[in-house]
Structure formats: C-alpha cells, structure tokens
Amino acid sequence: MASHLIELSGYAREGFARLYDTYRPRPPRILLETLCRIAATDRPSLVVDLGTGTGLSARAWSELADRIVGVEANEAMVAQARSATTEPNVEYVTAFAHDTRLGDGAADVVTCSQSLHWMEPEPTFAEAERILRPGGVFAAYDYDPAPLVEPEVDEAYDAYLRRRREARERRGIPAGGDIWPKREHVDRMRASGRFRYCRELALHTIVRGTADSLVGLARSIGLSGDATEEEIGIPELEIAARRALGDREVPFHWSYAVRYGVK
C-alpha cells in the first residue's frame, strides 16, 4: 500500500531506527492505564501494538499486561526493537497492521502509537476488530509535534519545523499525515462501523529533557529527501536550545491526542 511504502522509505536511513528509539517520547503510564479502564480490565492478557516501530509503545506496556505483541513491517525497526527489548513478555512480528496473523478475539487492547496515519484505515480497523475481544479497545494515540519547553526554545523548534516543511514542499514530498490526517482518525473510526462507541480525549505528561534531547528529537524526524541539516535549520535550533537551556534538565510538557473505539 502506498502509505506503507512512504513509511518504509522514510525509515530506511542507516542508524535512523536507533536515533528514533533514543529520542522519541514514550507513551505515559496514565494513557495506558486509561485504556485499561476503558477496556474494563485491571491487567490485559494481550496488547497488540500496530506499527510498533522500535517498540517504544510495546515496551511501555510491559508492566501492565501479561503479553505484548508489536507488529511492524520495517525490518530495520523490528531489529532495533528486538535489540532494545529486555522485557520477557514483549515480542515482535514482522507484518503489516492489516495482516497480523494473530488469533481472533485474543486481544484486550490494540494500539497504534504515532502510526495510524501511515495505514489504510479500513483494512486496519477490520483487523483490529477481528483480533479484539468483545469490549476490547482499539486506540490511536499521537503526541504533539513538539513539547512545550520555554518560549525561546519553542520558537526555535517551530522555526525548524517550518523550514523542514518548506524543504519537503520544494521537493514535492508529502508528509505522512497528509495521507490520512490525524484529526480525522475518530471520524474514520466511526464511519467504519467496526466499533460500537468512539471518542477522542486529550492527556498530558511531563518528562525531563535537555538541549541534547530536543536536538535529538528533531533529528529523529528525519530529513526531507536530499535536504541537509543546514537547510532545515537544525544548527540554528541547536544554538537556540543551548543558549536557552545550557546544561539544565528541564520539564518537557507533552500533550497526547487519543482516539479510541470500543468493540
């Protein structure tokens, strides 16, 4: 599928998977506990994480569920996920989200962490419905493009995102979110008829971060085609972040949009 092909090409750069795994935020515990509450379970027997990438979301579930299966089509990302995972109840399969080859009705929770916008909606919803038990929950959760840090840092990060978008537009490269916009996830879930109840909610969390982690986050988004770091403004971002933060570790405020459907 075209959306998967764009995803795979974006993750093909050598070393990108490790960069992604190091600097992307992990879903907060409150988000996962909220999904358990919606699914009416204290401890899921099985969580399936579709488009798991390097397993950030899969590993986050390790203390809350008996078994977690991360599903990912990109072999480099799966290799990084397996390398980074020490939790014995987390495993990975190399497969697309619409064809997991998992059993019917086995999962309490099926998730897409920062990944549903890459997937063909209807086949993905159909697969989620198939592998969920009655009353189980399908949830797509996405964090904002950048954390709230401090005004000078936030302004510099916005400028970096603008330069990156302009570089992509000059090359005619679509963003992943252009294909299946995240703001429309819950509407598509409702229209699919696969879930008896759908809703969107917002959650927030705070993690500690530094100038290095902010610049690492920017690099983990990747380049646009043959664009250089200079063209998209990473050096300017790094200068601004180090000027504002120095060696301090400060709160990074992250906001998450959670779109879920109950089978």
164-207 pLDDT, tens per residue?
999 999 998 887 778 899 999 999 999 999 999 999 999 999 99
Q: Is 104 exposed, middle or buried (0-12, 13-18, 19+ CB in 10 A)?
A: exposed
- 234-243 residue pLDDT tens: 999 999 999 9
Do residues 81 and 57 lie in contact, with contact meaning Cβ atoms separated by under 8 Å?
Answer: no
Average pLDDT over the chain reads 93
pLDDT score of 104: 98
pLDDT score of 16: 87
The β-bridge relationship of strands 250-262 and 197-209 is: antiparallel
The C-alpha atoms of residue 26 and residue 48 are separated, in whole angstroms, by 16
- CATH numeric code, 2-146+175-204+254-262: 3.40.50.150
pLDDT score of 43: 98
Neighbours of 42 (CB within 10 A): 9
pLDDT score of 175: 79
Instruction: Output the pTM of the full model.
Output: 0.91
CA 186 remoteness from chain centre = 16
CB-based contacts of 117, cutoff 8 Å, min separation 6: 3, 142, 176, 177, 179, 180, 181, 182, 185
Q: In the chain, which residues have pLDDT < 70?
A: 1-14
pLDDT score of 15: 79
The region that residue 67 occupies, defined by phi over 0 for left and psi between -120 and 50 for alpha, beta otherwise, is beta
> Per-domain residue ranges for the chain?
2-146+175-204+254-262
